[in-house]
A and B are shown apart, each in its own frame.
Chain A
């Protein structure tokens, strides 16, 4: 079934890209897409090897993205965050 392979290949690619996107902060959306395409490639025979790896990489990307967000919240103090939001609002207002 070539299309199942297409979906699992898509999942595999998204999985790898999600790991690269950790630095850019896009690992959660890309990882979510990888997980979705991987899960949708599952037929009666179950997941093929590529889809399994794709889902694993995508979940790793999501987990890394979540960890990065938590780390960011712990690193930046509430006061700094407030200042950043005020700066952002100034830019929006201007």
Chain B
């Protein structure tokens, strides 16, 4: 299992050697949108109060769904790169232009799962604030909670992530059948996919250490590896 994944990763690395530059404009737009979608709700609804809390949560949810569509654009870019199609910045917005309703449905499902799994962790954060622990301890605790949330979300959506790939390949495919195809595709391969996802953890940590600049290399590599896995196992 590990050998097969490392083969795919080596193939992707060799394939990507001269293809990081075309990804650059896409990634810059992607990261700008990422920052905007995470900062905007807090900026617009910055004051305390129930109304603002609800508005912040709602706006955050909608922006998360919309930002997820640009993630689909990155998947499309990875598939295009593997198929030798030249990349354009517009590829990032592919999901907005081609029967966007089905991509939106899948993104709503992903965001709902993520939100439902992260909600129980909020009381833990509240507990940490109430106990008045030191700043350093609080940040360590907060990072731990975030990592736990990320891991749980990854586990929960592991078998559904291929739905976007199927919908990108077949423009007439609806969200429901795509999710079913994704479940069928990942049947018996869950551990393999989990191993593939976790194998990028080291590079992601290094990317955070490089003040996010490393993501300009790591993100295309990871996306092309997933796309390569999808194309080889399809």
Contacts and interface: CB of A to CB of B under 8 A. Distances in A.
Contact of B17 (A28, A32, A41): A41
Contact of B14 (A2, A33, A43): A43
B10 A44 contact: yes
A44 B13 CA distance: 9
Contact of A36 (B16, B17, B206, B211): B206
B223 to A, nearest CB: 13
B78 to A, nearest CB: 15
Given A3-B18, A32-B210, A36-B210, A43 B13 contact: yes
A36 B214 contact: yes
Contact of A35 (B13, B14, B206, B213): B206
Contacts of A42: 10, 13
B214 A33 contact: yes
B17 A7 contact: yes
Contact of A40 (B209, B211, B221): B221
Contact of B217 (A29, A31, A36): A36
Given A29-B210, A32-B209, A32-B210, A39 B203 contact: yes
Interface residues of B, number: 17
B218 interface: yes
B214 A32 contact: yes
A29 B203 contact: no
A31 B214 CA distance: 11
A22 B18 CA distance: 31
Given A36-B203, A36-B217, A3 B210 contact: no
B35 to A, nearest CB: 18
B214 A43 contact: no
Interface in A52-71: 62
B199 to A, nearest CB: 12
A17 interface: no
B153 interface: no
Contacts of B10: 42-44
Interface string B5-36: 00000100110111000000000000000000
Central interface residue in B209, B211, B218, B221, by most chain A CB within 10 Å: B209
Given A33-B214, A40-B217, A44-B10, A62 B17 contact: no
Given A32-B207, A36-B210, A40-B218, 19 more contacts: A3-B17, A3-B18, A6-B18, A32-B206, A32-B214, A33-B210, A33-B214, A35-B206, A36-B206, A36-B207, A36-B214, A36-B217, A39-B203, A40-B217, A41-B17, A42-B13, A43-B17, A44-B10, A62-B209
Interface of B: 10, 13-14, 16-18, 203, 206-207, 209-211, 213-214, 217-218, 221
